[in-house]
Amino acid sequence: MPTSLLIISRQAPWSGPSAREALDIVLAGGAFDLPIGLLFLDDGVFQLAPKQDAKALQQKDLSANLQALPMFGVEDLFVCGDSAAERGLAPDSLSLEDAQVLAAHEITALIDRYDQVITL
């Protein structure tokens, strides 16, 4: 049985390369067909904010990469609904429809399901 890995992405998409680099770990794991999950937590939920305009910040948009996750074999996608609500984002407005919305108290159980965790 391969070791399962949960990536917890906690940074907003425009705060530096952290969100991008967390996603790169996930995509690499998907490419190797490893059991990998991705949880958007705290400011990480801003990565899923609808109607982002990356060009206004002269940045590249992560949204398209996130939408492609299931195609890369990464289907275990989670978002903390409490983090979203605290930041004024309605959980049903988030741009990643495949992500399962979890309450804060469900996250300990999620982490328990994985062998290893990386938080970025």
Partner 1 sequence: MAAVLLIESVMKFAIALFSAAHAPSSRRALLFAQAALAGGHEIVRLFFYQDGVYNASASVVTPQDEQDLPKQWRAFVAEHQLDGVVCIAAALRRGVLNDEEAQRYQREAVAVGAPWELSGLGQLHDAVQDADRLICFGGA
The residues binding partner 1 (CB under 8 A) are 2-3, 5, 10-11, 17-18, 21, 24-25, 28-29, 31-32, 34, 116-120
Instruction: For partner 1, give the closer residue by CB, 108 or 116.
Output: 116
**What's the closest the beta carbon of residue 53 comes to partner 1, in angstroms?**
23
Give 30 or 81: the residue with its C-beta nearer to partner 1.
Answer: 30
Find the shortest distance in angstroms from Cβ 25 to partner 1: 6
Residue 89's contacts (CB-CB under 8 Å, 6 or more residues apart) are: 45, 46, 48, 49
Is the CB of 49 or the CB of 118 nearer to partner 1? 118
Compare residues 15 and 50 and give the one whose CB is closer to partner 1: 15
Structure tokens at 51: 């109607």
- CB of 92: closest distance to partner 1 in angstroms? 26
How many residues does the structure list for the chain? 120
Strand order in 116-119's β-sheet? 100-102, 76-80, 36-40, 5-9, 116-119
Task: Locate all alpha helices (DSSP H) within the chain, ordered by sequence.
Answer: 18-31, 63-67, 81-86, 107-113
Nearest distance, CB of residue 39 and partner 1, angstroms: 12
| Vertex 49: Cα angle to 53 and 11 (nearest 5) | 100
